[in-house]
Amino acid sequence: MGKQKLSNHLQKKLAANEKLFIPYIMAGDGGLENLEERIQFLDDAGVAAIELGIPFSDPVADGPVIQEAGIRARKSGTTLKKILDVLERKKDSRTVPIVLMTYINPIYKFGIANFFEACKQAGVDGVIIPDVPMEEEQDIAVETTKQDIAFIRLAALTSPEDRLKQIAERSEGFLYAVSVTGTTGERATYVDHIDTYLQSLKTFANVPVLAGFGVSNSEQAKTLGASCDGVIVGSSIVRLFHEQKTDDIKAFIQESIRPS
């Protein structure tokens, strides 16, 4: 469980010459009773890990598709505690690593130490907290280390090289390379220097580098994946689950991870 499980799972995929594919899903969208079924479906489809979003009232990094999913989840009564309870029930039989994506407010409300203890108990392997800058992360880092949970950092296109280097060196599990400026969401194009940016992060990081934000299809996944270790896909997966197009999700994943 924890940091090593995530690392081992990613390395096993890379050793098999696969590109890493990490889908984002919103916990509670479609009902918490379907969460484990969706996790198993994604595992069977070949994902490297699953990024599980926690619904929150002010999701500053999320575009409209994920915001709407969060609203649906909250309306259905989804809470952080209920999500952790669902995860705990299957933690011993679940093989795919789980990474929680949450903002800092729900963690503060839960209690920082209590939150990470509960994550450990639920079999959570990593966390992503997009609104905690490097200068403010000490209290979080202490608890993730204590509970052996990977603290995954985000790198931004707009950051100077020395800052990117520091973030890359600190990241655990994998480095989340934000590949657009702005919020999450499906996009048609990327900035011209995206390949240079991803390749430079590869030289800085001691963990796999995955590109996320704006990956809309398998062609984009392959284009970005050529310069790093794989992709994180959120809005497209959330939309397809909401539309009940699971065959399209499976095809998206399997086309993206296949070696070029």
Catalytic site residue from 18, 51, 143, 229: 51
Q: Are 180 and 203 in contact (CB under 8 A)?
A: no
Q: Are 96 and 5 in contact (CB under 8 A)?
A: no
Q: How far apart are CA 126 and CA 149, in angstroms?
A: 5
Q: How far apart are CA 230 and CA 234, in angstroms?
A: 14
- The single-letter DSSP state of residue 153 is -
Q: Are 197 and 181 in contact (CB under 8 A)?
A: no
Catalytic site residue from 62, 125, 143, 172: 62
Q: Are 232 and 130 in contact (CB under 8 A)?
A: no
Q: Which residue has the tokens 């009773």?
A: 33
What dihedral angle (degrees, nearest 10) is formed by the CA atoms of 217, 132, 100, 186? -20
Nearest to 133 by CA among 144, 125, 141: 141
- Is there a catalytic annotation at residue 51? yes
| CA neighbours closer than 13 Å in the CB half-sphere of residue 160 | 2
Nearest to 214 by CA among 50, 66, 113: 66
Q: Are 24 and 238 in contact (CB under 8 A)?
A: yes
Residues with a catalytic annotation lie at 51, 62
